[in-house]
Structure 1
Amino acid sequence: MHMNQPKRNRLPRYRILTAAVLLFYASAGASPLTLPMAVEETLKNNPDLLSAEETVSLARSQVEKAKAAYWPKVGLYAEALRADAPSAFLFKTIDQRLFDPGTDFNDPGILTNIEGGLEMQMPLYNGGRNQLAVAFSRSGLSATEARRTSLQRHLISEVINVWYDILSSRKFIDIAEESVRTVTAQLEAMTIRYKGGSALKSDLLSLKVRLAEAEERLLASNNRLKLSRAALFTLLGQGPDTPDSLAVGDPFNDWSPPPYTEGLAHALERRCEIKGAQAMVDQAGTGVRTAKSGHHPVVQLAGRLYADDDGFDHTADRANWSVALRMDLPLFSGFSVEADTRTARARERSAETLRKKTLLQVRLDVKNAYLRYDEAIKRHQVAENAVAMGEESLSLVKQQFEGGSATITRYLEAELDRNSARIREAAAFYDMKKALTAIALATATSDNGPGSLFALHPAPSTEQEK
């Protein structure tokens, strides 16, 4: 009895220790989500990108399939034959090496033959179609990889923009909460004055209306934050209801974009859309050469090692072999080669037109990114001045209101103007950050890899979201 008692006491302690360890690791794993982490999760889990990865794998398999045409085809075969056809009787009994010269071929009887062997076919020349098929598939792979990279960059842009929407929503919430506190305090003071007979009921009602407006703005800002968070986690492939904490992060703290001409040159050199469009042009040109190769001869080597018997008594001394070199030269194909060539040339012209359009679109993307950045900078400067003037105006009006020389309506107008200026300043600030993202992606500044966008700039802080 005494020997078993310590075991019963240790078991609950063991469970408590295990639970404590698990709780420690669970809490340690719940670290705030930073912006680089969000981008990394998006590139790993986003369904659209996963589908694009499978498309790239398919394109790679097409390249391998095209290369397989250079290799010989080798296979085993077996055949069981029973017939009374004179030609089959003659050739098969000869291959069996059991031919009877006195056979009556008008009535040879029933033939039974079991044949098995090894066959080999190897293309020696087919008008260059094998080389063209490899080039065609490689161009297709390059175009597919370019589309995948373009999707990666688009997703990175969406994640960063949604991240800044979250940060701006938090700023709007702070402004709205401060407005609610300010108006609430004034409403409490006005209520006391109204009960004491020193304030009008219209002033009290004006404060209540203003408080309702402030609460409505707070509600809209909170809802905007929830919508942005839902959009972020949907991009991460985790679903809009995923609970998590977000860290404060900004990858563009001290980064400034290159001059416009330099950024444009960089974009024209590195943008994946241009590389993809050029790959499509190359693929279309290969298609033209492939269509023309329909007039070229085809040379093929074939070999066979086999044995025949009327049963299963196959022996090595009765084995047969053959090696053949065959050439086919098409003389007339009903103008199908010419039709295929015209079709391929039309596709080549279409691909070249698309390449030119892509160049124009890249130029427009870069131009728009720089123009929006310049606009955001100027808007932010104007908004900063408006905030400063709004703060000063509210301070003066507040003094006048407390001294009795300004009405409550004038005070509420000044408070509303100040808050509206602060909201415009916050919106312009984060629009400026979004414009920086657009420039970095439009100019292919981060073209060394999707994650290198953050390697170019200071690492974001990890202050947890309120």
Structure 2
Amino acid sequence: MRITQIRTAVAAGVAGLCLALANPGGAQAETLSDAMADAYKSSGLLEQNRAVLRAADEDVAVAVSNLRPVLRWVGDVTRQFGEARNAVGEQGLEGSSVSMALTAELVLWNGGRNQMRVDIAKETVLGTRQALIGVEQQVLQRAVQAYMDVRSRSEIVQLRQNNIRVITQELRAANDRFEVGEVTRTDVALAQARLAEARSNLAQAEGDLAIAIEDFRFAVGRAPGNLTQPPAMQLPARNVDAAKAVAMRRHPDILRAQFEVTAADLGVLLARAATQPEVSLTGRLGVTENFSSDNFTRSGSVGIQTGSVIYQGGQLRALSRRAIAQRDAQRGALLETQRTIAQNVGRAYAQVQVAQAAIEAVDEQIRAARVAFDGVREEATLGARTTLDVLNAEQELLNAQASRITAASNEYTAYYALLRAMGLLTVDNLNLRVPQYDPTEYYNMVRDAPSAISQQGRQLDRVLQSIGRQ
């Protein structure tokens, strides 16, 4: 009983979606742009990577803080007790004292290591921004795939339903002709078998549509509505070489790898600068009060100290060699990324052309199959064709129509896959009507490492509270 209820609920949901797609005036039209915009607004993956970017922004603030003085305070309360014996006699050592001190330290020079850390953090931020764009492309392409899957599978369901109606008519005609002795029981059985197969195919198509609807919910964040036909498309480049050239300039994965190479180059310089001496300015101001007497001490000091590592067990040389190896690895990764992107562009461009050619061919196939089906069915009424001939001709037409639906869906998905391969599948490039996330806004607020008591720091606290992250 439970299985029957589930099947009934799924069938009702699928039927409702098919009805909405078949009657555009019955529900509010939903475009592909609407689906992509909602996917952008509701994506948890984008939220996750935006948080990763904000963490990278904070790394810049941490590096900047090393360029500033460090202030510390320390307090101490001491209770002294005991006794001492000397030539005069025994004397108690009891007493209490309290001391407070304020210290300051500022690095004046260390071979530029602190500034290099700031530059590395900035390059990392730029690379993380490009990684966020890559995630944005992934989210939008997933929405495109889900949108086209729902449309194509709903059309397949309608095609299967129409197929059942046609075969039912053929079965009725076969029964009528059997009653008058024009055909045998075999013809009726063939029609019955095809009808059972058609119902099985419809059940499979409805299941595929139900899966596509769940994929749509996951990709877009809601259930699909009345999905309209996407607009006509134009290739974003005149040929595959032009498309590859755009990808080399625009693709976020390549740009990210370039920033990572720059950061690795700076990492080598940072490792080599580790042997440079460090010069620091230090200062101290303190007071000590003795409760057992009227004695107190107030003191202060200012000084410059310098020093450097002479030997550390070979660690500094090992760190330098490691930085060089990491730089070489990043350069290799950049080269591999460029080749991968070029391959993806070539494949995507070819898939678009294949899909377009497939549509032209299948349109011709449909025209021919429809003429054949109409002719065979007419000839069957005159006794020149068998029921099997009619069923086979109808199946040829059905297969051609199903191929047309798949080819049209493949064309759109291949087109947007090409946009992603070129680095153009972004909210900005597609002109989607959605509030865009500004990756520079948070960075501009934290790049100077504001303190908690500053006006900028208090403003930052309010921003963190507004996004629920504090």
Q: Is the 8 A contact 1:159 1:232 kept in 2?
A: yes
| Partner Cα separation in structure 2 for residue 232 and residue 145 of structure 1 | 27
Q: CA deviation at 1:83?
A: 4.3
Q: Is the 8 A contact 2:150 2:216 kept in 1?
A: no
Q: Secondary structure at the match of 1:301?
A: strand
- One of 290, 306, 327 as aligned partner of 2:286: 306
Indicate the residue corresponding to 1:276 in structure 2: 256
- One of 126, 147, 155 as aligned partner of 2:139: 155
Indicate the residue corresponding to 1:461 in structure 2: none
Indicate the residue corresponding to 2:118 in structure 1: 134
Q: CA deviation at 1:351?
A: 0.8
Q: Is the 8 A contact 2:244 2:342 kept in 1?
A: yes
Indicate the residue corresponding to 1:450 in structure 2: 427
Q: Is the 8 A contact 1:44 1:50 kept in 2?
A: no
Q: CA deviation at 1:247?
A: 2.6
| Paired residues for 1:210-249 under 5 Å | 210-236=194-220, 238=221, 243-249=223-229
Q: Give the number of equivalent residue pairs.
A: 402
Q: Tell me the amino acid that sits aligned with residue 308 of structure 1.
A: T
Q: Secondary structure at the match of 1:321?
A: strand
Q: What TM-score, normalized to structure 2? A: 0.79
Q: 1:313 to 1:321 in 2, by over 3 A?
A: farther
Q: Tell me the amino acid that sits aligned with residue 213 of structure 1.
A: E
Indicate the residue corresponding to 1:38 in structure 2: 35
Q: Tell me the amino acid that sits aligned with residue 187 of structure 2.
A: D
Q: Is the 8 A contact 2:67 2:107 kept in 1?
A: yes
**Is 1:63 aligned with 2:60?**
yes
- One of 417, 442, 450 as aligned partner of 1:438: 417
Q: Is the 8 A contact 1:126 1:299 kept in 2?
A: yes
Q: Which deviates more from structure 2 when the two are superposed, residues 293-302 or residues 217-226?
A: 217-226
Q: Tell me the amino acid that sits aligned with residue 256 of structure 2.
A: G
Q: Is the 8 A contact 1:36 1:451 kept in 2?
A: no
Q: Is the 8 A contact 1:82 1:111 kept in 2?
A: yes
Q: 1:205 to 1:428 in 2, by over 3 A?
A: same
| Partner Cα separation in structure 2 for residue 392 and residue 454 of structure 1 | 44
| Partner Cα separation in structure 1 for residue 293 and residue 197 of structure 2 | 100
Identical aligned residues as a percent:
20
Q: Is the 8 A contact 1:299 1:328 kept in 2?
A: yes
Indicate the residue corresponding to 2:374 in structure 1: 395
Indicate the residue corresponding to 2:163 in structure 1: 179
- One of 235, 247, 255 as aligned partner of 1:267: 247
Q: CA deviation at 1:197?
A: 3.3
Indicate the residue corresponding to 1:145 in structure 2: 129
Q: Tell me the amino acid that sits aligned with residue 179 of structure 2.
A: K
Q: Which deviates more from structure 2 when the two are superposed, residues 220-229 or residues 111-120?
A: 111-120
**Is 1:321 aligned with 2:318?**
no
Q: Is the radius of gyration larger for structure 1 or structure 2?
A: 1
Q: Is the 8 A contact 1:115 1:308 kept in 2?
A: yes
| Partner Cα separation in structure 2 for residue 313 and residue 225 of structure 1 | 90
Indicate the residue corresponding to 1:385 in structure 2: 364
**Is 1:293 aligned with 2:273?**
yes
Q: CA deviation at 1:300?
A: 0.9
Q: CA deviation at 1:77?
A: 2.3
| Partner Cα separation in structure 1 for residue 294 and residue 354 of structure 2 | 88
Q: CA deviation at 1:369?
A: 0.6
| Partner Cα separation in structure 1 for residue 260 and residue 80 of structure 2 | 55
| Partner Cα separation in structure 2 for residue 357 and residue 329 of structure 1 | 40
Indicate the residue corresponding to 2:17 in structure 1: none
Q: 1:455 to 1:50 in 2, by over 3 A?
A: closer
Unaligned runs of 5+ in 2: 1-26, 83-87, 434-470
| Paired residues for 1:366-381 under 5 Å | 366-381=345-360
**Is 1:115 aligned with 2:99?**
yes
Q: Secondary structure at the match of 1:70?
A: coil
Q: CA deviation at 1:188?
A: 1.7
Q: Is the 8 A contact 1:305 1:320 kept in 2?
A: yes
Q: 1:314 to 1:389 in 2, by over 3 A?
A: farther
Indicate the residue corresponding to 1:101 in structure 2: none
Unaligned runs of 5+ in 1: 1-29, 86-103, 457-466
| Partner Cα separation in structure 1 for residue 359 and residue 128 of structure 2 | 40
| Partner Cα separation in structure 1 for residue 292 and residue 398 of structure 2 | 98
Q: Secondary structure at the match of 2:305?
A: strand
Q: 1:114 to 1:230 in 2, by over 3 A?
A: same
| Partner Cα separation in structure 2 for residue 244 and residue 355 of structure 1 | 39
| Partner Cα separation in structure 2 for residue 293 and residue 141 of structure 1 | 23
Q: Secondary structure at the match of 1:130?
A: helix
Q: Is the 8 A contact 2:213 2:224 kept in 1?
A: no
| Paired residues for 1:66-85 under 5 Å | 66-83=63-80
Q: 1:307 to 1:413 in 2, by over 3 A?
A: same
Cα deviation code 1:347-403 (max 9, x no counterpart) = 111111111000000100100011111111111111111111101111111111111
| Partner Cα separation in structure 2 for residue 313 and residue 64 of structure 1 | 48
Q: 1:312 to 1:68 in 2, by over 3 A?
A: farther
Q: CA deviation at 1:451?
A: 5.0
Q: CA deviation at 1:171?
A: 1.8
| Partner Cα separation in structure 1 for residue 427 and residue 312 of structure 2 | 50
Cα deviation code 1:267-304 (max 9, x no counterpart) = 10010000111122112112211111111010111112
Q: Is the 8 A contact 2:217 2:223 kept in 1?
A: no
Q: CA deviation at 1:111?
A: 5.1
Aligned Cα RMSD in Å? 2.7
| Partner Cα separation in structure 1 for residue 228 and residue 318 of structure 2 | 61
Q: Secondary structure at the match of 2:427?
A: coil
| Partner Cα separation in structure 2 for residue 367 and residue 244 of structure 1 | 32
